[in-house]
């Protein structure tokens, strides 16, 4: 082969190598620019990541504090559960006691109803006795009007002599007991350690002769005297 052939071949090879070099150089500059931009973006991402790391560490600290608080709350909750269980036991015992009291109360209610019925019957009987007593009072008032103005009543229990003027007598008989109400009376004399003296006049007629267990208040005039006493057999 001639020298011209080698020269042409070498020139072609040199041109191809130079073109490839230049192309690679231009391409590398673009890649350098892209790499620098990626570096900047990476640095920004690094900064953001560091900030996120700081925030994450703060959140970790807060989470640890919350964990501690949660553990304390768990302990308190367990204690409250124990107290609640004890209170439940006490409440069950109180419920049992309350049920027993309810049963006792129901029995007492039944007994009370029976007593109410008996009381109503006694009230009816008492009303009938009151009516009879009122009739007897009317008869006694008529007898008093017909009697003397001055009456001497001698009582065996306290041995007292009382003179009554312009008085009213109300008699209510219940089971052989008499309630005597004397109004507008004058006390003339009180004798103690006195012998039993029969009344010369009996203003109560059918009540026989003797009344006893009376308390006389001689300090005040025109004061009502009320006393429950028995009829002397």
With respect to residue 16, please indicate whether it lies within any of the assigned structural domains.
yes
Residue 20 binned pLDDT confidence (cut-offs 50, 70, 90): low
Note the pLDDT of residue 12: 67
Between residues 129 and 166, which one has the greater pLDDT? 129
pLDDT for residue 141: 74
Cβ-proximal residues to 231 (8 Å cutoff; 6+ apart), any chain: 176, 177, 178, 207, 208, 210, 211
Nearest one of 149, 159, 141 to 204, comparing CA atoms: 141
Note down the domain range covering 51.
Answer: 1-131
161 and 126 assigned to the same domain: no
In this structure, the answer to whether residues 199 and 99 fall within a common structural domain is: no
For residue 111, being part of any structural domain is answered with yes
**Residues 89 and 25 grouped into a single domain:** yes
Give the mean pLDDT of 44-64: 90
108 or 29: which leads in pLDDT: 108
Identify whether residues 78 and 27 lie together within a single domain: yes
Alpha carbon distance 205, 147 (integer Å): 11
Centroid of chain to Cα 16: 109
- For residue 94, name the pLDDT band (cuts at 50, 70, 90): very high
Cβ-Cβ contacts under 8 Å for 171 (sequence gap 6 or more): 133, 136, 137, 140, 178, 179, 180, 204, 207
Top mean-pLDDT range of 58-72, 184-198, 218-232: 58-72
Number of domains in the chain: 2
Answer yes or no: do 83 and 184 share one domain.
no
pTM for this predicted structure: 0.29
pLDDT at 221: 34
Lowest mean pLDDT, pick from 41-50, 95-104, 196-205 = 196-205
Bin 208: left if φ > 0, else alpha if -120 < ψ < 50, else beta.
Answer: left
Model confidence at 57, in pLDDT bands (50, 70, 90)? very high
74 lies in the same domain as 157: no
Query: Mean pLDDT throughout 126-142?
Result: 80
For residues 57 and 103, membership in a common domain is answered with yes
The whole-number average pLDDT for the span 14-36 is 67
Is 228 in contact with 177 (CB distance < 8 Å)?
Answer: yes
pLDDT at 122 over 80: yes
Looking at the structure, do residues 105 and 5 belong to the same domain, yes or no? yes
Tell whether 151 is covered by a domain.
yes
Taking the C-alpha atoms of residue 194 and residue 158, their distance in angstroms, rounded to an integer, is 9
On the question of pLDDT at 86 being above 60, the answer is: yes
Domain boundary among 100, 131, 162: 131
């Amino acid at each position: 082969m001639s020298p011209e052939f080698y020269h042409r071949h070498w020139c072609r090879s040199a041109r191809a190598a130079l073109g490839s070099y230049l192309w690679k150089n231009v391409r590398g500059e673009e890649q350098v620019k892209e790499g620098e931009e990626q570096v900047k973006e990476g640095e920004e991402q690094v900064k953001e990541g560091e900030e996120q790391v700081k925030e994450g560490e703060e959140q970790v600290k807060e989470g640890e504090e919350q964990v501690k608080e949660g553990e304390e709350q768990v302990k308190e909750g367990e204690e409250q559960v124990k107290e609640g269980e004890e209170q439940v036991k006490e409440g069950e015992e109180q419920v049992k006691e309350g049920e027993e009291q309810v049963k006792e109360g129901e029995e007492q209610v039944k007994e009370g109803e029976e007593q109410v019925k008996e009381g109503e019957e006694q009230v009816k009987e008492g009303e009938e006795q009151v009516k009879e007593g009122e009739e007897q009072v009317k008869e006694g008032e008529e007898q008093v009007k017909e009697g003397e103005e001055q009456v001497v009543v001698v009582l065996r229990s306290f041995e007292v002599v009382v003179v009554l003027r312009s008085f009213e007598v109300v008699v209510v008989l219940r089971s052989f007991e008499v309630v005597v109400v004397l109004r507008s009376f004058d006390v003339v004399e009180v004798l103690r350690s006195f012998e039993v003296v029969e009344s010369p006049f009996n203003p109560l007629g059918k009540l026989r002769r003797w009344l006893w267990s009376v308390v006389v208040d001689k300090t005040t005039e025109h004061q009502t005297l009320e006393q429950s006493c028995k009829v002397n057999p």
